[in-house]
C-alpha cells in the first residue's frame, strides 16, 4: 500500500471518529443538564438515584460500558445483535458516559451562582424557567467552558475506544494497516491527526471562552 492510499484509508477512519465526536456532544450535553437537575432535585430519592448513576458511569471503564451497551440487549432481553447496531451502541455508551461528567460540571456551575440572583429575578417577575435560561444559564456557560474543554479534548482521544466494538474509526484503521504492512507509519499519522483534531478543538473552545469573556 502506497502512502496516498494509506492516508486515504486513515481519513475515512478520521471521518468516523469525527462523527462519533459530534454525535456524542449532541446527545451528552443536553442529557448532562437533565442529569444535573436530577442530581440537585429536592427529593432525596431522586437525587440519590442520579448520584448513583453518575458514580457508576464515572467509576467504571468506558470500554466496559461499550461492551455492555452492545451485548446487553442480547444477554438481557434476547434481542439479536446486528452489525449495524455497533455504531449506535458506541454513540449510546459515549453519550451516557460523558453526560455523567458534564452533569457534575453543570452542577458545579449552577451552584456557583449566588442565590441573590434567583431572588432578584423573582422580584422582577421572572418565572423559574425564565430565571434559569435567561439569567443563570448564560453565566453558567461562561464559568464551565474550561472544564468542558478538558472533557471535549478527552473525548477526541476516547473515540479510539470504539475499536472494542470493531467500529472502523481512525485508530482501528491505523492498527489494521500497521498489522497488514508491518509499519509504524499509520500510528504516527494517526497520532498527528489526533493532535491536529485536538488542537482545532482547543483553539475553537478558547475562542468561544474569549467571546463569552465580557464585562472584563
C-alpha cell at 24: 456524542
Whether 214 has a pLDDT exceeding 70, the answer reads: no
Tens digits of residue pLDDT in 71-118: 988 888 888 877 778 999 999 999 999 999 999 999 999 999 888 888
Q: Rounded to two decimals, what is the model's pTM? A: 0.90
- Residues 159-180: pLDDT tens digits? 999 999 988 888 888 888 888 8
Instruction: Please name the residues in contact with 55: beta carbons below 8 A apart, sequence gap of 6 or more.
Output: none
Q: What residue ranges in the chain does DSSP mark as E strands?
A: none
Give the tens place of pLDDT for each residue, 11-51. Answer: 888 899 999 999 999 999 999 999 999 999 999 999 999 99
Is pLDDT of 215 > 70? no
Q: 71 near 81, Cβ under 8 Å? A: yes
Q: Which pLDDT tens digit goes with each residue over 121-151?
A: 888 888 888 888 888 888 888 889 999 999 9
For residue 62, count CB atoms less than 10 angstroms from its CB and return exposed for 0-12, middle for 13-18, buried for 19 or more: middle
Residue 43 backbone phi and psi in degrees, to 5: -70, 120
Domains identified in the chain and CATH numbers: 3-211 (1.10.3720.10)
C-alpha neighbours within 13 Å on the C-beta side of residue 161: 19
For 164, which DSSP code?
G
Amino acid at each position: 500500500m502506497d502512502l496516498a492510499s494509506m492516508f486515504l484509508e486513515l481519513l475515512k477512519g478520521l471521518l468516523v471518529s469525527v462523527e462519533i465526536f459530534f454525535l456524542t456532544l449532541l446527545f451528552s450535553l443536553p442529557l448532562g443538564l437533565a442529569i444535573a437537575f436530577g442530581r440537585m432535585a429536592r427529593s432525596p430519592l431522586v437525587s440519590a438515584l442520579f448520584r448513583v448513576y453518575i458514580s457508576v458511569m464515572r467509576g467504571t471503564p468506558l470500554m466496559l460500558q461499550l461492551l455492555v451497551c452492545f451485548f446487553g440487549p442480547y444477554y438481557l432481553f434476547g434481542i439479536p445483535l446486528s452489525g449495524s447496531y455497533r455504531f449506535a451502541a458506541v454513540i449510546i455508551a459515549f453519550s451516557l458516559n460523558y453526560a455523567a461528567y458534564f452533569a457534575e460540571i453543570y452542577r458545579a456551575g449552577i451552584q456557583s451562582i449566588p442565590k441573590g440572583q434567583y431572588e432578584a429575578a423573582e422580584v422582577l417577575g421572572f418565572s423559574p424557567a425564565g430565571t434559569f435560561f435567561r439569567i443563570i444559564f448564560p453565566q453558567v456557560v461562561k464559568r464551565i467552558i474550561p472544564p468542558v474543554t478538558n472533557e471535549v479534548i478527552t473525548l477526541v482521544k476516547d473515540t479510539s475506544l470504539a475499536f472494542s466494538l470493531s467500529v472502523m474509526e481512525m485508530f482501528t484503521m491505523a492498527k489494521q494497516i500497521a498489522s497488514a504492512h508491518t509499519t509504524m507509519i499509520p500510528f504516527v499519522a494517526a497520532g498527528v491527526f489526533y493532535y491536529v483534531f485536538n488542537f482545532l478543538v482547543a483553539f475553537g473552545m478558547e475562542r468561544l471562552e474569549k467571546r463569552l469573556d465580557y464585562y472584563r
